[in-house]
Amino acid sequence: VSRYWCEWAWLGGDLPTASVLLTVDEGRITAVEAGAAAGDATRLHGLTLPGFANAHSHAFHRALRGRTQSGEGSFWTWRDQMYRVAETLNPDSYFELARSTYAEMLAAGYTAVGEFHYLHHGPDGKPYDDPNAMSESLLAAAAEVGIRITLLDTLYLHGGIGPDGSYLPPNPVQRRFSDGSAAAWVARIGHLGTDGSRVRHGAAIHSVRAVDPAAMRVVRDRCGDGGIPIHIHLSEQPVENDQCRAAHGRTPAQLLADLGILGERLTAVHATHLTDSDISLLGTARVTACFCPTTERDLADGVGPSRHLVEAGARLAIGSDSHAVIDPFQEVGAVELNERLVTLIRGNHSVRSLLEAGTNNGYAALGWPEGGRVESGALADLVTVGLEPGIEPEHMMGWALFGTTTVGATIVAGEPIRTSTE
């Protein structure tokens, strides 16, 4: 049993609470006592929040930081640069990249990551001797630094949709992503380990560009109705919407609806270029829309309709995706700030709802519904941020989200990963 005393803690309301004593046992918060003395508990000075969930990560994209931000181009030219990195990686270098990326996440206040993993095979597209060698590299990297991980093993079959609406074969780099068939993907992920105390497994459909409807049904059936998360890149670029309409006569969101894939266990990553009908479908199904604003602006993707999605019933989460920036406070703040730039209206999302997007919505989207809250029974994943001396309680959460945030402590499953405020 360990105990932490928080100078201030956000317990889920509109205001933080002073002098909160947390008791932690076997990775869970077992008691929350407000107005308590610190005693011999570890002191956390500043504002303690639930740790953030990075609901969308491609760990290896971090190798592109600084390399892709200059020059001209589009999402598609960025993708060519990303493919040049993908073709050089092996299980050892994948591990090294993931380890440094996950360590940076912990330092920034993320305590859980959803790894949308599609770089499965060797450079020629042939499986490694251990066909899950690349997946194991990610899990080993997460275990070494201590971050909680949901491995979203991703089905990727096709190189895109051609002008005549048919699926194209994968190009030489994309062959590393493809299992060849949905059945082979099912067989491979069947050999992955089971869930652990800091590991859970979900699945992902790369996109409507890379997976045909019949194969999407296989993912749906593989995950069943038991709450296993399914993630998909949805409508990141207008071109993929056009291709989907040409091939299937409907938008990507409508296609997923017709396949019975929309639902609470689905996370639509990006959800950027949507029709009013798409927004209604995603909202009614209570899908989680994962926004990745620092990547979406870097890749010239656009700004998704976050406020309309919430009003329709969808939940928001956040991810750092390509890791051009790893900072949950920037990511969450940008959901609101981007909306302001588009609508010329301030205050589209409350500070509280933005914090919920970054924490408990993201945990739920990664298959950890018991995480992302500071309450008895919840996972003891916490982050403490510094505060301006004397700042009023009603402004503390806004300070944390929209100011320059200093992370003091990060705690996963009750264990300090990083503490500098004791």
Q: By C-beta, is 32 or 119 nearer to Zn ion?
A: 119
* Contact characters 202-221, Zn ion, x per CB under 5 A: --------------------
Of 226, 228, 278, 230, nearest to 252 by C-alpha is: 278
The minimum distance between CB 322 and Zn ion, in angstroms, equals: 7
* Beta bridge partner(s), residue 379: 28
Is 321 among the residues known to form the active site? yes
Q: By C-beta, is 298 or 321 nearer to Zn ion?
A: 321
What's the distance, CA 124 to chain centroid? 29
Q: By C-beta, is 135 or 405 nearer to Zn ion?
A: 135
Spell out a b/e string for 10-37, using b for 16 or more CB atoms within 10 Å of the CB, else e.
bbbeeebbeebbbbbeeebbeebeeebe
Which range of residues in 10-18, 32-40, 220-228, 314-322 is near Zn ion by CB under 5 A? 314-322
Q: How many residues bind Zn ion (CB under 5 A)?
A: 1
The minimum distance between CB 321 and Zn ion, in angstroms, equals: 5
CA 96 vs CA 90, 126, 142, 234: distances in Å: 10, 22, 11, 29
The minimum distance between CB 319 and Zn ion, in angstroms, equals: 8
The minimum distance between CB 233 and Zn ion, in angstroms, equals: 5
Which range of residues in 41-49, 122-130, 259-267, 318-326 is near Zn ion by CB under 5 A? 318-326
CA 73 vs CA 64, 172, 242, 302: distances in Å: 15, 22, 20, 14
Which range of residues in 176-184, 319-327, 330-338, 347-355 is near Zn ion by CB under 5 A? 319-327
The minimum distance between CB 367 and Zn ion, in angstroms, equals: 18
Rounded-to-integer distance, Cα 325 and Cα 200, Å: 25
The minimum distance between CB 207 and Zn ion, in angstroms, equals: 9
Q: By C-beta, is 42 or 101 nearer to Zn ion?
A: 101
The first and second tokens of residue 52, run together, are 């953030």
Residue with tokens 């060698």: 133
Is 92 among the residues known to form the active site? no
Phi, psi of 158 (to 5 degrees): -120, 155
Q: By C-beta, is 237 or 361 nearer to Zn ion?
A: 237
Catalytic residue among 179, 301, 321, 381: 321
Residues 6+ apart with CB under 8 A from 160: 167, 168, 209, 210, 243
Catalytic residue among 61, 158, 231, 270: 270
Rounded-to-integer distance, Cα 280 and Cα 67, Å: 38
Phi, psi of 356 (to 5 degrees): -65, -40
State the number of CA atoms in the 13 A half-sphere of 49 facing the CB: 34
Which range of residues in 30-38, 94-102, 317-325, 346-354 is near Zn ion by CB under 5 A? 317-325
Which range of residues in 25-33, 148-156, 320-328, 344-352 is near Zn ion by CB under 5 A? 320-328
Q: By C-beta, is 56 or 99 nearer to Zn ion?
A: 56
Residue nearest Zn ion (C-beta atom): 321
Interacting residues toward Zn ion by CB under 5 A: 321
* Residues with a known catalytic role: 270, 321
